[in-house]
A and B are shown apart, each in its own frame.
Chain A
Amino acid sequence: MSEAPNTGDEELVVLARGGDLDAFNRLVDRYQGSVYSLCVRLLGNREAAEDAAQEAFLSAYRALDRFHGGSFRSWVLRIAANEAKDELRRRRRKDGATSLEAIFDRQESPVEIPDPSEGAEVIVERHDFGRALEIALGDLPFEQRQAVLLVDVYEFAYEEVARLTNASVGTVKSRIHRGRERLRQAMIARPELFEGLVRPEE
C-alpha cells in the first residue's frame, strides 16, 4: 500500500479517482462497519445486508466523480441507504413476498438480540436497553425505521433524509415523530428498562 495509514478520506478519494483501488479499499476498511450496520438494521437480514453493503461500496467507487467533498462517511451511508432499499425491492420480487415487512427476517436477528420469546425476565436480567431498542426498531415500518435510524443513530439532518428518500421535510419529520412514539410505546411496556435512564425533566 502506497499511502500512509492515517491518510485523510479526501486524499484517498483523490487517489481512488485516479484508479487506485487499494486507496478506495482503505476507505472500505474504515467504513464497512457503519455501512453494514445501517444495512442490517434497515433490512433485518444478514445476507441481504451483505449484498447491499457490497453494492454500496461498488456504487460509491463508480460514483466517485460525484463526491464533492464533505463527509465521505455520510456520503457512502446515503448510498448504502439507497442500496438497502433497492435490495429490499429485489428480494421482494425474487421471493414473491407479499409485504416487504415479510423480508424482515425474524429468524436471523440483525444483532445479538435476545429472542422476544425469552420473555421480559431475560431482558430484565440483561438489562440491556440498547438491545431492546434494536428489537423495537426492527418492528417499525420501513419508512419510519429508515428515518429514525438516519436521524437519531447516524445523525443525518432532516433535509438530507428528505433528499435521500424523495420525500418532503414535513413527511420525514412526521415519520420520525411517529417512529419515536412507537419506540417509546414499545419501551415503556418494560418500565424496568428505563430505571436509571429517565430523569424527570425540569
Chain B
Amino acid sequence: MEIRSWLSPRHRQRNRLHAYIEGALEGAERTQFEAAMARDPALAREVGELRAIRLAARELPEIEAPRSFRLTAAMVAAPARQAPAPRRAPVALRLAQGAAALSVFALAVTFVAGAVDNERAADTAASGESASLAVEDATTKQAPAAAAASGGATNSTAATAEGRPPVATSVPSPFAPTLPPYSPTSSVSGQGVTATAETPATAVASPTPRAPATGPGEAVTAMPTPVPPLTGGGDAATVPGTPSTSAYGTRDGGVTGGATITQSAPAGADKDGPGTMRLAQAGLAAVAVLAIGATIVLSLRRRREP
C-alpha cells in the first residue's frame, strides 16, 4: 500500500499501522515498520490489539433473521418506496457559511484597499521627491520631523515606513482646494529647529494665526504668531479656538503649523484614519472567526448523521 509522502510523519505512521494489520504493507515499508515495532513495545502491543479486534470482527457470527424476507407477488407489484430526499443543510449552517464567506471577503477587501492606499501614498511621496517640491534645504534637513508635523500634507506613515525622508509635496489635495497664496512668513518647525519655508509650492502659509500643535515627538511652531501649543497626536487633533487650522491641518496624525503642506490622500482612507480601518478589520476578523467556528461545529454535528 502506498503511503503518501505529503502526510505528516504521525499520519504516515498511522497509515502504515493500519495497512500492516490489513496485510497490505509490503516491501521496504513493511520491513521498516517491523523494525519500528521491534524498537517500540507500545507500538507492537497496539498492533497486536488492533489485529485481534480485526480478527474478532471478521468472526462475528451472522445474526439469524427473525423472519423470512422472501418477496411476494403483491410486494413486487406495489410501487417502489421513495428514498428520502437528501437533506438540505440546516438554516443555521447555511447562515453561518454565508456569514463566514461575507466576512472573509470584506476582510480581504479592507486589506487590499489598505495596501493600495499605502502604495499610492508612497508613490505620491516619491513623485514629490523627483519633482523637487520640497521645502528649502534648511527644512529638508529636518525633513522627518517636518513631514511628520505636516501630516495633513504628507502621508508620514508611508514615507517613513519606506525608510526615506518624508518629503512634503504639493500635489493638489481635495482637502485643501482653496488654500491661500504663499506667504513668505510661514515657517515650519521640527524638533525645536525652526526653518523658514520659502517655496510656494510646498509650504503655503495660512493667513490666519494657527495653533502650533505637538504631535507625538514633534513640535511645530507656527510663526509669526505663536499661540499656546496643542497636544494631539491622534487623528482627531483639533485646535480649540483656531478654526483656520481646519481639517487638512489635522489629518493623518499630523498637525499643520504655520505652514500648510498640501498633499493628496485618498479621501475615504485618511479621513477616518488608519485606526478606524484597523478597528473595522478587527471587527470583521472577529465575525469571520465566529462564523467559521460555527460552520465547523454545525458541519461536524451534521456529519455525524447520515
Contacts and interface: CB of A to CB of B under 8 A. Distances in A.
Interface stretch (B42-50, B92-100, B109-117): B42-50
A89 B71 contact: no
B69 A143 contact: no
Nearest to A185: B49
A188 B53 CA distance: 10
Contact of A100 (B55, B59, B304): B304
B101 interface: no
Nearest to B75: A58
Interface in A92-140: 92-93, 99-101, 110-111, 129-130, 133-134, 137
B306 A88 contact: yes
Contacts of A198: 45, 48-49, 51-52
A194 B62 CA distance: 22
Given A180-B18, A201-B37, A21 B53 contact: no
Contacts of A36: 63-66, 69
Determine the main DSSP class of B at the interface with A.
helix
Nearest to A54: B69
B49 A62 contact: no
B302 to A, nearest CB: 10
Contact of A53 (B69, B72, B306): B69
Interface of B: 14-15, 18, 34, 37-38, 41, 44-73, 75-76, 80-81, 83-84, 87, 303-306
Interface of A: 21, 24-25, 28-29, 32-37, 40-41, 46, 50, 53-55, 57-59, 61-62, 85-86, 88-90, 92-93, 99-101, 110-111, 129-130, 133-134, 137, 141-143, 146, 148-149, 152-153, 155, 173, 176-177, 180, 183-184, 187-188, 194, 197-202
